[in-house]
Amino acid sequence: MRKIRVLVVDDSSFNRKIISEILESSEKIEVVGKAFDGEDAISKILKFQPEAITLDLEMPRMDGFAVLRWVMANHPVPVIVVSARESDRSVFKALDLGAVDFVVKPSRHASPQLKEIERELLAKILSIPSLQFDVVRQRLAQTAPPPAPAALPQAQGSRTAEVVAIAASTGGPPAIQQILQGLHPALASPILVCQHMPPIFTRLFAERLGALTGRAVKEAEDGEALQPAHVYIAPGGKQLRLKLKEGVKRLSVDERKPEDRFAPCANHLLASVAEVCGRHCLVAVLTGMGDDGKEGSVAVHEAGGAVVAESEASAVIFGMPREVIKAGAADHITDIPGVVGLINRYAVMRSGFGP
């Protein structure tokens, strides 16, 4: 059986040891080397030719960002950032530079708590054979976001989407950013986003999207009423649902239950959108491993709403969209520019714009 060859990069010898032990607990992974800083990492990348890298961001001499830039230019392979929570904002910079995902260390300092990341880290490394890394490289080669359309196309009659929901996991942040940057400025439908991401990071993700897109983006709060042209990010570690209370669409944010596989969970969000909006919604299931979003998409489809699955051509990991398609719930299968076009076509617009 062919193993995934991984290089572990971390300036802590203890962390290198624990991360290596976690990875080698799987018979499908081989740790081919360990590096203590950026310069050592580049030397060992050239020597061992790894197929994947786990990368610490904060290191002496040459930090993780410099390594990422070098890797993407000279030896492009999937990189999973293993970062301390104190480096939270840095994670998004790493994703911009080409990292495919990240795992949060429980502590900034060397600690036995690091073993707590075992399940998440293994899942992300083991997903690498199904990852389409060329999609990441193509995104890095793009220098500017697509311009918003000059005119808003006619919506689809009675299926006009009063609410739009987007679900994503690995590879999702850049795709969501691209979608929001491509939306027409007249778009009035609120947008609910379920991106698999830990607590704290979802708030920072919202702030980042707002700054980059110029749209009103915030982390969702329990009980707040949906506002036109706003984007709401599901909080990490909690469950976001849409509720109808006294005729007003409001957000419900609940604590994670022991049986929940994901928090936030796309199935919970999409099913609630189907229940509240019926046929007057559009949901898009983007890149990500696993099947979260499948059951929720089926609920939307059965309620008469529109379901969009990202195509294999643009998905970093064609897991979540594939499951929606296999379930027969996808009304449209398209790449990210196509998702933008469909949202622009189905969504409600402010008066005075478009046809």
User: What does 96-146 look like in DSSP terms, one character per residue?
Assistant: HHT--EEEEES-SS--GGGGGGHHHHHHHHHTGGGB-HHHHHHHHH--SPP
Check pLDDT > 50 for residue 78: yes
* DSSP H/E element including 255: strand 248-255
Say if residue 321 is in the same domain as residue 240.
yes
Supply φ then ψ for residue 192, to 5 degrees: -105, 130
Question: Looking at the structure, do residues 123 and 169 belong to the same domain, yes or no?
Answer: no
Cα gap 64→77, rounded to integer Å: 14
Q: Are the beta carbons of 9 and 67 closer than 8 angstroms?
A: yes
Residues 216 and 103 in one domain: no
Q: Is residue 135 part of a domain?
A: no
- In which band, very low, low, confident or very high, does the pLDDT at 341 lie, cut at 50, 70 and 90? very high
* pLDDT, position 151: 47
Taking the C-alpha atoms of residue 29 and residue 129, their distance in angstroms, rounded to an integer, is 11
The reply to whether 140 falls in a domain is no
Statement to judge: residues 175 and 47 lie in one domain: no
Q: How confident is the model at residue 354 (pLDDT cuts 50, 70, 90)?
A: very low
Question: What confidence tens digit (pLDDT) does each residue in 200-243 have?
Answer: 899 999 999 999 999 999 999 999 999 999 999 999 999 999 99
pLDDT value for 154: 53
Contact 228, 249 (CB under 8 A): no
Average pLDDT for residues 289-315, to the nearest whole number? Answer: 96
Please tell me which residue in 83, 90, 169, 311 is annotated as part of the active site.
Answer: 169
- Mark whether 196 is an active-site residue: yes
Q: Which domain holds residue 319?
A: 157-346
Which among 10, 11, 189, 196 is annotated as catalytic?
A: 196
Cis amide leading into 337 (omega within 30):
no
User: 246 and 165 in one domain?
Assistant: yes
Would you say residue 314 has pLDDT above 50? yes
pLDDT of residue 110: 63
Contact (CB, 8 A) for 128 and 78: yes
Mean of all residue pLDDT scores within the chain: 90
**What is the per-residue pLDDT for 249?**
97
Does residue 260 have an active-site annotation? no
Q: Do 78 and 227 share a domain, yes or no?
A: no
pLDDT: which is higher, 142 or 48: 48
User: Tens digits of per-residue pLDDT, 160-179?
Assistant: 899 999 999 999 999 999 99
Catalytic residue (choose from 37, 291, 292, 314)? 292
Same domain, 125 and 163: no
Does any domain span residue 275? yes
Q: How many domains does the chain have?
A: 2
To the query of whether residue 301 is one of the catalytic residues in this protein, the response is: no
Residue 316 lies in a domain: yes
Average pLDDT (320-329) is 97
Give the CATH number, domain containing residue 228.
3.40.50.180
Residue 30 lies inside a defined structural domain of this protein: yes
**Residue 137's pLDDT band (cuts 50, 70, 90):** confident
Q: In this structure, is residue 142 part of a structural domain? A: no
CA distance 194 to 73: 32
Looking at residue 353, its pLDDT comes to: 43
Q: pLDDT at position 150, please?
A: 47
The CATH number of the domain holding residue 60 is: 3.40.50.2300
Identify whether residues 109 and 21 lie together within a single domain.
Answer: yes
Rg (CA), the chain: 20
Q: How confident is the model at residue 188 (pLDDT cuts 50, 70, 90)?
A: very high
Q: Tell me: pLDDT of 115 over 90.
A: no
**Span 74-90, average pLDDT:** 83
Q: Is 141 part of any domain?
A: no
Question: Beta-carbon neighbour count of residue 335 at 10 Å?
Answer: 16
State what percent of residues in the chain have pLDDT above 90.
78
- Answer yes or no: is 152 within a domain: no
State whether 172 and 110 are in the same domain: no
pLDDT digits (tens, 9 = 90+) for 10-54: 999 999 999 999 999 999 999 999 999 999 999 999 999 999 999
Q: How confident is the model at residue 87 (pLDDT cuts 50, 70, 90)?
A: low
